[in-house]
Amino acid sequence: MLALTTKTRDRVFAIAPFLNTCIRRLLPICRCIAAGAVLMAVVAGARPAHAEDGYDLWLRYRPLSGESAQAYRASTTRLIAPATSPTQIAARHELLHALTGLLGNAPPTADAVDGDGALVVGTAASSPLIARLKLDTAKIGREGYLIRSVVIDGHAATVIAANDDIGTLYGAFHFLRLLQTNQPLQHLDLRESPRLKLRLLDHWDDLDGHIERGYAGASIWDWHKLPDWLDPRYTDYARANASIGINGSVLNNVRANALSLTPLYLEKAAALAGVFRAYGIRVYLSARFSAPIEIGGLKTADPLDPQVRRWWRGKADEIYKAIPDFGGFLVKANSEGQPGPKDYDRTHAEGANMLADALAPHGGIVIWRAFVYANEKPDDRAKQAYDEFVPLDGKFHDNVLVQIKNGAIDFQPREPFHPLFGAMPKTPQVLEFQITKEYLGFATHLAYLGPLYEETLAADTFARGKGSTVAKVVDGSLYGDKHSKDALTKSRLTGMAGVANIGTDRNWSGSQFDQANWYVFGRLAWNPSASSRAIAEDWVRMTFSNDAAFVTPVVDMMMRSREAVVDYMTPLGLHHLMAHDHHYGPAPWDASGKRADWTPVYYHRADRNGIGFDRSATGSNAVAQYMPPLAQEFGDVKRVPEQYLLWFHHVSWDHRMSSGRSLWDEMVYRYTRGVEQVKQMRATWHGLDGKIDADRYAQVAAFLAIQEKEAQWWRDASIAYFQSINGLPLPAGFAPPAHPLDYYEALSFPYAPGHG
Ligand code: GCV
């Protein structure tokens, strides 16, 4: 209760009769206002009672109305779900919480079916009812689930059944998705199991709260207050991840700080693991290779040194004491100045295996990154990972996976798939995507990454003939189970990792639409063959509205959005033209980096005669790293898909494109088209005003305005620069850049977020 000073209390008592009269007079007016407010809320229909800020992500569970709500109530008349393990409790709680939100009331919990409409959840071990049904759950394996319409004791019911508790939690989220996306609940016969075993978020979060390439505020890990204060946000993070099947979280930046492995920080990581466990999420840590020196007092980190090996074994024992289900280490070694085995003339395999041996007795794994951007200057940076890793195939221990970025350079708006995929048949390969948009406009540009992810996963490596897609390499189906044993499940390890876009912003991801990139990453890690359009539609329905007049244009807009970014930033295979270091905005003129191969001019190679990086046989011959059918296609300037033209070839400005335009005219056309697309996105969004809550609508509208401004900037700066090189006129009808080149060159953003 509010504490009043004596003086204040006396004053309040003195004016009490007056206040009383006022209140009596005001009461009818207030009632009137209140009645009006209720009426307005009813009229507003979908408008939620409290402002939406995006915190609830796709788990909003706002009231459903109309016939479907009636039907859903009839299918959830009671909940029969065990609640003896933390995961069972999480599943039951999520169902009760969600059904209360969606349908107005929580269904009663029960133990037996005594009427139609029961929702029965569990495993054969946890639920006698599920055991009695003798469902065929053998094929769904670990983490999988069935959702089925059944008849129990003469009554219609729905079961969510699995072989383990986490499967029931995943099934519960899927069931809720059916309601959230307005699907019928009759005749259900769904069977799901994850295609990949490791579905990981990599946080590039530093111990001081900064996030490398983070655009959504600071790190959500409040290291200073951990382990004593467990922010409720940790549970919501775990719920959101479990709802899309993510089962691992690498807590700290790959540019790792050795202190993460000290007892102080292990206790904090253990506290997070304690929150995540019920949601099936294991904790992993990025390990600094030189930790034995920095925190172990040793003179070397040589992986073949017995003392070093002993140190890591001891460290692994210590970690597993604190976190019994610790997942393992992620390592960035000998890349961008990070320490690694090559500092001691050892190979990546020798480094990885040393750590793997330390973790093996505990069932842990090592995820060794192939993003090696070493100190020696390569003839073509795109070739480096392949050259270093292919000779090591077969040399990694069974609990090592090699993690490979989707493309050979660095998370560009478009890259051909990385040639390492399919080139190391004896080594499990984790596909690494970036969810945070380091090179795609940070948080303010609307760029749905589903099509980018899908493009990589569907790319054909030809590693074992036609149809050898990256998805099949990554899920191991291309090789069967014979090459490697899994420390976790006794079959080949498989995985996908996404560099997280999560921070302390209320909306988690920096923008409403960037949540969709987290969402689609999780769904594709579960099923790499899923359609990014279908996933976008689920997300829009859950996050905003089921109104078809909203869903269809928004999904269309999302599906076009990444291509728009490609157009206004890096059309036709151009890449890495972003400003130095922070990567915000265009700087194709930049030649100032410490090394030539860290500068945009290295990548576009524009001169008076032409533009593009010759990676064909006449150039760096990076095409030879692809399987022969692709090497031929990519290596032939007449056959290469135009979207990769300047990635693989240096061509003249008057090179004839399939449109009939010259290359230069085509570039100008595409830059301009990108800007036009953003204008259209703004117009589409404008037409949707009133269909969702005002707050989120307004933020998206404001961000789209920023995007248009910056798309124009990208177009104009790029055209101004390339025109200064080729001296060519603009094609007829295309506006010249708004400013001269030196204006763009002079722009400076020393405090752009996300610095490395
Ligand atoms: C964590 C790019 C980014 C770096 C990042 C690196 C990596 O170079 O700009 O910030 O470092 O990739 O993936 O290791």
Please give the distance, rounded to the nearest whole angstrom, from the Cα atom of residue 335 to the centre of ligand 1: 9
pLDDT tens digits for range 301-335 = 999 999 999 999 999 999 999 999 999 999 999 99
Q: Which residue has the higher pLDDT, 46 or 634?
A: 634
Residue 499 CA: nearest ligand 1 atom is 13
Please give the distance, rounded to the nearest whole angstrom, from the Cα atom of residue 752 to the centre of ligand 1: 16
Residue 583 CA: nearest ligand 1 atom is 9
- Rounded distance between C-alpha atoms, residue 717 and residue 709, angstroms: 12
Mutation pick for ligand 1 pocket among 205, 211, 213 (CB with most ligand atoms within 8 Å): 213
Taking alpha carbons only, the member of 495, 423, 417, 490 closest to residue 458 is: 417
Taking alpha carbons only, the member of 234, 303, 224 closest to residue 259 is: 224
Q: Would you say residue 466 has pLDDT above 80?
A: yes
Please tell me which residue in 165, 410, 455, 614 is annotated as part of the active site: 410
In this predicted structure, what is the pLDDT of residue 481?
53
Q: Would you say residue 25 has pLDDT above 80?
A: no
Please give the distance, rounded to the nearest whole angstrom, from the Cα atom of residue 57 to the centre of ligand 1: 27
- Rounded distance between C-alpha atoms, residue 109 and residue 198, angstroms: 34
Give, using CA atoms, the residue closest to atom 2 of ligand 1: 410
Please give the distance, rounded to the nearest whole angstrom, from the Cα atom of residue 475 to the centre of ligand 1: 25
Give, using CA atoms, the residue closest to atom 7 of ligand 1: 371
Q: Which residues pair with 248 in a beta bridge?
A: 200, 282
Contacts 24+ apart (CB under 8 A), 456-460: 456/406, 456/407, 456/417, 456/431, 457/431, 457/524, 457/528, 457/529, 459/416, 459/417, 459/421, 460/630
Please give the distance, rounded to the nearest whole angstrom, from the Cα atom of residue 452 to the centre of ligand 1: 19
Please tell me which residue in 116, 267, 318, 336 is annotated as part of the active site: 336
Q: Are 494 and 487 in contact (CB under 8 A)?
A: no
Mutation pick for ligand 1 pocket among 289, 367, 410 (CB with most ligand atoms within 8 Å): 410
H-run or E-run covering 577? none
Stretch 447-461: mean pLDDT, rounded? 98
Specify whether 336 is catalytic: yes
Please tell me which residue in 52, 206, 438, 454 is annotated as part of the active site: 438
Specify whether 94 is catalytic: no
Structure tokens belonging to residue 44 = 């507003």
Give, using CA atoms, the residue closest to atom 3 of ligand 1: 756
Stretch 20-45: mean pLDDT, rounded? 37
Residue 335 CA: nearest ligand 1 atom is 14
Backbone angles phi, psi at 495, to 5 degrees: -175, 165
In 492-547, which ranges are continuous DSSP H helix? 515-526, 532-543
In this predicted structure, what is the pLDDT of residue 512?
98
Residue 405 CA: nearest ligand 1 atom is 13
In this predicted structure, what is the pLDDT of residue 343?
97
In this predicted structure, what is the pLDDT of residue 12?
35
| Alpha carbon separation from 585 to 60, 134, 303, 550, 675 (Å, rounded) | 34, 59, 41, 31, 14
Confidence bin at 373 (pLDDT 50/70/90): confident
**Cβ neighbours of 25 (radius 10 Å):** 9
**Cβ neighbours of 358 (radius 10 Å):** 23
Residue 338 CA: nearest ligand 1 atom is 14
Please give the distance, rounded to the nearest whole angstrom, from the Cα atom of residue 438 to the centre of ligand 1: 9
What is the CB < 6 Å shell around ligand 1? 204, 212-213, 254-255, 332, 371, 410, 438, 756
* SS3 per residue for 534-547: HHHHHHHHHHCCCC
Which residues, 6 or more positions from 118, have their beta carbon under 8 angstroms from its beta carbon?
77, 78, 79, 80, 110, 152, 155, 157, 158
DSSP structural state of residue 755: -
- Rounded distance between C-alpha atoms, residue 706 and residue 700, angstroms: 10
Give, using CA atoms, the residue closest to atom 13 of ligand 1: 371
Task: Say whether 200 sits in a helix, a strand or coil.
Answer: strand
| Alpha carbon separation from 233 to 55, 56, 177, 326 (Å, rounded) | 10, 11, 22, 21
Q: Would you say residue 707 has pLDDT above 70?
A: yes
Give, using CA atoms, the residue closest to atom 12 of ligand 1: 410
In this predicted structure, what is the pLDDT of residue 83?
96
Please give the distance, rounded to the nearest whole angstrom, from the Cα atom of residue 308 to the centre of ligand 1: 27
H-run or E-run covering 673? helix 663-686
Q: Which residues pair with 79 in a beta bridge?
A: 109, 119
Give, using CA atoms, the residue closest to atom 9 of ligand 1: 756
Please give the distance, rounded to the nearest whole angstrom, from the Cα atom of residue 108 to the centre of ligand 1: 50
Please give the distance, rounded to the nearest whole angstrom, from the Cα atom of residue 49 to the centre of ligand 1: 42
β-pair type (248-250, 198-202): parallel
pLDDT tens digits for range 491-540 = 789 999 999 999 999 999 999 999 999 999 999 999 999 999 999 999 99
**Exposure on the CB side of residue 169, measured as CA atoms within 13 A:** 30
Which residues, 6 or more positions from 314, have their beta carbon under 8 angstroms from its beta carbon?
none
| Biggest CA-to-CA distance, the chain | 95
Mutation pick for ligand 1 pocket among 286, 288, 289, 371 (CB with most ligand atoms within 8 Å): 371
Residue 434 CA: nearest ligand 1 atom is 13
H-run or E-run covering 50? none
Structure tokens belonging to residue 595 = 């090394």
Residue 754 CA: nearest ligand 1 atom is 10
Q: Which residue has the higher pLDDT, 485 or 118?
A: 118
Please give the distance, rounded to the nearest whole angstrom, from the Cα atom of residue 11 to the centre of ligand 1: 64
Q: Would you say residue 378 has pLDDT above 50?
A: yes
Residue 212 CA: nearest ligand 1 atom is 10
Stretch 675-701: mean pLDDT, rounded? 98
Q: What is the pTM of this model?
A: 0.93
- Rounded distance between C-alpha atoms, residue 473 and residue 478, angstroms: 5
Q: Are 509 and 443 in contact (CB under 8 A)?
A: yes
Give, using CA atoms, the residue closest to atom 10 of ligand 1: 756
| Alpha carbon separation from 496 to 143, 404, 527 (Å, rounded) | 16, 9, 11
In this predicted structure, what is the pLDDT of residue 596?
81
Report the mean per-residue pLDDT for the chain: 92
In angstroms, how far is CA 409 from the centroid of its own chain?
Answer: 19
Please report, in angstroms and rounded to a whole number, the separation of the first and last CA atoms in the chain.
48
